[in-house]
Amino acid sequence: MVLGVLLGIELPPLVLAAVTLLVILVVKSWTSSPANLPPCPARPFPVLGHLVHLRKDARRVMMEWRKQITRQIPSLRSSGTINREHPVYLGVTLDRTLSFSQHAMNVKAKVAARNSLLRKLANSNWGADPKTLRTTALALSYSTAEYSSAVWARSCHAKKVEAELKTLAAL
């Protein structure tokens, strides 16, 4: 109604509702953009079916956007990763020189723990036939020792793991 009075014409209710909705959408988009800046000025604004470019406002808005963009200082956000001396990737412990010494010590400790269990089983009176011991050794110790051995087997520290596997063969 006010719009009709401003334009000096009488608008049908359906057109008035459409124009009111259009004005509401323009106002909402104007206030909902970042930092309450108007939307991108390169796009024309629809007003009563006509496309109007607001050049002066567009220049002002672009200058404000440029100021805000230059004020933003890029920052690195940490994702919570921790810098470790010996990181573990896919079960392989790495060190600075890629000599895999820490990994070989870890694998040797795991195999030694499994070997002690097999020694106890070998010295018992029940269920300790050679075939069962061999199957258990292959399942426990050898699979642990040979996991990702393609990565670290040529290391000079691989002999530590081999020595522990040889003690298993003596059972």
Q: What is the pLDDT of residue 67?
A: 67
Q: How far is 75 from 72, CA to CA, in rounded Å?
A: 9
pLDDT 10s digits, 58-68: 566 666 666 66
Q: What is the pLDDT of residue 51?
A: 42
171 vs 121, more confident: 121
Task: Using the predicted structure, report yes or no on whether residue 167 has a pLDDT greater than 80.
Answer: yes
* Closest C-alpha among 26, 19, 20 to residue 54: 26
Partner residues linked to 46 by β-bridges: 51
Task: Using the predicted structure, report yes or no on whether residue 41 has a pLDDT greater than 60.
Answer: no
Please give, one letter per residue, the 3-state secondary structure of the chain: CHHHHHHCCCCCHHHHHHHHHHHHHHHHHHHHCHHHCCCCCCCCEEECCEEECCHHHHHHHHHHHHHHHHHCCCCCCCCCCCCCCCCEECCEECCCCCCCHHHHHHHHHHHHHHHHHHHHHHCCCCCCCHHHHHHHHHHHHHHHHCCCHHHHCCCCCHHHHHHHHHHHHCC
Q: Which two tokens stand for residue 119?
A: 């020694």
Task: Using the predicted structure, report yes or no on whether residue 15 has a pLDDT greater than 60.
Answer: yes
Q: Mean pLDDT, to the nearest integer, of 97-105?
A: 89
Q: Which two tokens stand for residue 62?
A: 């672009």
Task: Using the predicted structure, report yes or no on whether residue 35 has a pLDDT greater than 70.
Answer: no
Does this model's pTM top 0.95? My answer is no
Q: What is the pLDDT of residue 170?
A: 77
Task: Using the predicted structure, report yes or no on whether residue 48 has a pLDDT greater than 50.
Answer: no
Q: How far is 118 from 112, CA to CA, in rounded Å?
A: 10
Dihedrals φ, ψ of 149, to 5°? -70, -20
